[in-house]
Structure formats: C-alpha cells, structure tokens
A = this chain, B = another copy of it.
Amino acid sequence: MSFDFTPFFRDDLPGPAKPWGGFPAYNFVGGHSDAASVPATALSEALAAVIARDGKLLANYGIGHGSQGYLPLREYIARMLEDRAGMATEPGQILVTTGSLQAMDLVNTALLNPGDTVIVEDVSYGGTLSRLRQLGVGYIGIPVDRDGMRMDALAQVLAELKEKGVTPKFIYTIPTVQNPSSTIMSVERRQTLLDLAGQYGVPIFEDDCYAELLWEGARPATIRSMDDGGQVIYCGSFSKTVAPALRVGYLVADWPVLSRLMPLKTDGGCGALEQMALAEYCPAHYDGHVAALRQTLKGKCETMAAALAEQFGATAEFEMPKGGIYIWVTLPEEVNTDRLTQLAGAQGVAINPGSEWSADADAGRRRLRVCFAHPGHEEIRDGIARLAEICHAEFGVPVRGANVAR
C-alpha cells in the first residue's frame, strides 16, 4: 500500500511537475541557444588546463575560495563588466549563482513578503511574474516603448503608490534587450529611472542577462554603473552568451546587500567545473565568441522575421529586434494565443503565450514570444509555416501566407 504524502505537503505548493516528454519538433520556447555556437570543446580544454593547475581545490567546499564563488571567475566577471558595460566592479561585490534564476530567488527571498508590491515592465520575463505570484506579491506593469520602460508612466505610478502609503520593494527591469520586447532602455531613461528611484527611495533590480547579445549599436552602460549609492542590485548570466546548461549567473551588489543575500544561498556553492572552465576560457575567448554568436543570432532573427512576414503577412506585427533571441509578436484581436499555444504544442510547435509574459495577462492574449536561437533556419521556416496553418485553421487568420490563400 502506498503511503499518502498529501496531508504532509504545505498548502501553498505549486502544482506537481509532469514527467519530461522530450523537446518538440519546432522549439521556439525557453531560452535555448544555438547548438553549433556553444564552445563545448573549448570549455572542456579550458577545464583540462585549469584542473592541471588547480584540480586539488575540488576537495574543498567553495573550491577553496569561500561562498561567493571561484575567485578567478569573479575577477574575470569584474573586468568584463568594467570593460564591456562600463560598470566598475570588485570581485568582492560578486556572488556566483546557479544561473540568474537563483540570483532572482535570492533577491526575492531577501526582500519580499506576501502582500508586497513590485514594479515591472508591463511585458516581462514570465519566470519573474510567476515567481511573484507564487510569493503572493503584487506587481504593477509600466508600459514599454522602443526606448524601454516609460518614465512618465513610472513617475505616475510611484506618485500614486506614495499617495496610498505604499513603497514598492523594488523596480524590476531588463533594460537592455528586454524580455520579451527586445527593447533597449535609453541612457536618458536610465538616469531618470535612477532619479525617480532615489526620489521615492525604491531599490532597483537590474536583470541584464541579454545585454551582451546586442548586434546593433553598443551595449549601453548599466543602470548600476550610473548609481553611486548602491541602490541597484544587478544580475547577469553566462546562459545566453556561453551555454544555458552551465548554470552560471551572478549577482552584483554592495556588501551591505550582498552579505544579506549570501546566507540565503544554502546550497554549499555552485558547480566547480563550470566556474573553473569559464574562468579559464573567457579571458582569451569570450569577446570573440560573443561577437560571432551575435552574427549567428542576427541571421536567425532575420530568418524568423522573414518567415513571420511570409506566413503571417500584416497579421503578425512586431518590432525588429536589435539583439537577443526573441521576437515578440502581436496578432489580431480574434486570436487567443493561450489556445494557439495549446493547439500548436499538440502539433509539435512550441511557443510562449503572451499572457504569461504580460503583467496584465488579458492584454497579452493576442501576443506570443518566439525564440529563434535554438532551431535551425529550415526549422524556423517550417515551424512558422505550420504555426500559421494552425492559427488559420482555428482563428481564420492569417488569410493569406506565402502568396497563397489558405
């Protein structure tokens, strides 16, 4: 007879996981990378070199470098952030995390109680929104245009909240290559955001995981780089630049904040091999690798945009991204992308429905996010063609695609 655990589980747990069913034929979800671009062999060679020197450190928790992570990796991250993002950083201000997801969990755990309020971009990372809901935290979405979060709207929301006596716990922003909109917050707005945050006394949580993937124009200085008061908690990641399976991200914060986040990381440290491999690989190879990756992604983005134009025509509206791995698509009123996601998924075409990437789920019901990084060019073309057919069959649009009536 099987023991019944049901009465032992906490009431507020998320629903059960489903067994892994493999990847769909056309995988436009999540943030998987271009397989051919992953420098797997170079990482493994880098690891061999560092193991030959420092292999004995594996005998120590924390690789013998304490709970903030492998020091040579933190030194590299600090140099990289200074060189590439204009952000002066000390290795002592960095905590290596299991991807940016653990970084986010640490920040949330440190700061959030049920009933708290957080400000987000009105279209935002689904994993952030679902975490906040799970924590019982309310979020307010600020509209985004081509230059990122709209500061007039933010100012108004902050004033209204103050009127009600509410101080948001933080403003969560993905300023550079925003997820899902791929917009880039202008430098002027970054300054205004900092000024508003200072004026209202609200911390900023800057999620910068996609910033390195910008192929048009230079990477803007981070918001944290413009802040000399330590009001910004910053996170970054090697998932999108090197490989998602590595699970190496990092938090950057001033010590009074970092020292409170560190005790919440109760896992005894992040994996040593990734940290050692990256610390050895990056100084010689990272810049060139990212430059090549950007061009690969740009090419796939163009294929995805062409496929959307060809198959959906004017039915699919989107801004052409300047970087990143996603296109954020708006379909006509009559389309429900929750339903489309379900139908397409059953036919091997996986997409992310806009409702999950929108602070106002209803406002996202005719939007969808497609990731072009992982599938090949042909898969992109075939998958989008199939998606258009499924969409037409259910919703009657697009009426024409690839110059034929459906």
How many angstroms from the CA of A18 to the CA of B267 in the assembled complex? 17
Whether B36 and A1, one on each chain, are in contact in the complex, defined by CB atoms closer than 8 angstroms, is no
Which of A175-183, A251-259, A298-306 has 4 or more CB atoms under 8 Å from chain B?
Answer: A251-259
- Interface residue tally on A, bucketed by range: 35 or more
Asked if A217 is at the interface (CB within 8 A of a chain B CB), the reply is no
Asked if A2 is at the interface (CB within 8 A of a chain B CB), the reply is yes
How many angstroms from the CA of A31 to the CA of B67 in the assembled complex? 14
Whether B273 and A271, one on each chain, are in contact in the complex, defined by CB atoms closer than 8 angstroms, is yes
How many angstroms from the CA of A15 to the CA of B262 in the assembled complex? 10
**Residues in B whose Cβ lies below 8 Å from that of A336:** none
A315 nearest CB across to chain B (Å): 30
How many angstroms from the CA of A32 to the CA of B8 in the assembled complex? 34
A7 nearest CB across to chain B (Å): 8
**Residues in B whose Cβ lies below 8 Å from that of A198:** 3
Whether A44 and B48, one on each chain, are in contact in the complex, defined by CB atoms closer than 8 angstroms, is yes
Whether B245 and A272, one on each chain, are in contact in the complex, defined by CB atoms closer than 8 angstroms, is yes
Whether B38 and A8, one on each chain, are in contact in the complex, defined by CB atoms closer than 8 angstroms, is no
Whether A245 and B58, one on each chain, are in contact in the complex, defined by CB atoms closer than 8 angstroms, is yes
Q: Give chain A interface residues in 35-57, CB to chain B under 8 Å.
A: 35-38, 40-41, 43-45, 47-48, 51-52, 55-57
Other A-B pairs beyond A2-B230, A13-B264, A20-B66, 12, CB < 8 Å = A8-B169, A8-B203, A10-B113, A13-B110, A13-B260, A38-B59, A44-B48, A58-B243, A59-B245, A105-B267, A247-B271, A273-B273
Residue pairs across A and B with Cβ atoms less than 8 A apart, 19 shown, are: A2-B254, A3-B201, A3-B230, A8-B111, A16-B256, A31-B61, A32-B61, A40-B51, A43-B58, A43-B273, A57-B245, A98-B267, A98-B271, A99-B268, A102-B266, A246-B272, A247-B267, A247-B271, A273-B277
Residues of A bordering B, CB below 8 Å: 1-3, 5, 8-10, 13-20, 23, 30-38, 40-41, 43-45, 47-48, 51-52, 55-68, 92, 98-99, 101-102, 105, 109-113, 131, 169-170, 198, 201, 203, 229-231, 239, 243-248, 254-260, 262-264, 266-274, 277, 374
